[in-house]
Chains A and B, each alone.
Chain A
Amino acid sequence: EIVMTQSPATLSVSPGERATLSCRASQSVTSNLAWYQQKPGQAPRLLIYATSTRATGIPARFSGSGSGTEFTLTISSLQSEDSAVYYCLQYNNWPPWTFGHGTKVDIK
């Protein structure tokens, strides 16, 4: 089973600043990495798939990068509505599909 590790656990960022979230895989997942955003009381929403492709309707301030075992989600200019928990998902080696434990992004 591939273990996904996200850091930091919590990130506090001022509006308009950049937020950088990390996700590490215990072995290579090539580019088969997705990011999800989850707000309180809501279902997760797909942000990014294939490491760097934004899902339909996702603002350009969200971008993904990386390959192999190291991945990054960047929010270039944080907005108040971006306060949420962000999860990475590997879908290269399954079953099982495995998520990271999440990074909570707070607005300062």
Chain B
Amino acid sequence: QVQLVESGGGVVQPGGSLRLSCAASGFSFSSYAMHWVRQAPGQGLEWVAVVSFDGNQRYYPDSVKGRFTISRDNSKNKVYLQMYTLRVEDTAVYYCAKDSVNWYFDLWGRGTLVTVSS
């Protein structure tokens, strides 16, 4: 079954850290770039990070650059998002998404909720 399953969300205080995980199954994980996309409560979608199929290239938007790190372990079929110095505005559902090879997202997980609050 082709799927992505996120985990690791929770409540964290401002300035804190959290690591999200995404487990992939049903496709050749090591052949595809992987993304994280987030959605603040009642808001739209915001792309957060991408890692290339081999883990050698990573990109971030300015809103998280220097605070978030994306990585992957192809031996475990997992992608991670390490988040540091979290802010209230980082509160969102974080989705893991598979790249199609042509740079749009063709498979999404169900998401994991991150709440940054004191």
Can you sample 20 A-B contacts with CB below 8 Å? A32-B104, A36-B45, A43-B110, A44-B45, A44-B95, A44-B105, A44-B108, A46-B104, A46-B107, A87-B44, A89-B45, A91-B102, A91-B103, A94-B103, A95-B50, A96-B61, A97-B103, A98-B47, A99-B44, A99-B46
Q: Are A97 and B108 in contact (CB under 8 A)?
A: no
Chain A, 23-48, CB within 8 A of any chain B CB: 32, 34, 36, 42-46
Q: Which of B44, B103, B111 contacts A102 (CB 8 A)?
A: B44
Q: At the interface, yes or no: B55 with Cβ under 8 Å from chain A?
A: no
Q: Are B47 and A49 in contact (CB under 8 A)?
A: no
In the complex, how many residues of chain A place their beta carbon closer than 8 angstroms to a beta carbon of chain B? 23
User: Which A residues are CB-close (under 8 A) to B46?
Assistant: 99
Query: A43-B109, A102-B44 in contact; A95/B60 too (CB < 8 A)?
Result: yes
Q: Which of B47, B95, B106 contacts A46 (CB 8 A)?
A: B106
CB distance from B47 to the nearest CB of A (A): 4
**In the bound complex, CA of A42 to CA of B45 (Å):** 13
User: Which A residues are CB-close (under 8 A) to B107?
Assistant: 46
**In the bound complex, CA of A34 to CA of B99 (Å):** 13
Query: A95-B61, A98-B47, A99-B45 in contact; A49/B109 too (CB < 8 A)?
Result: no
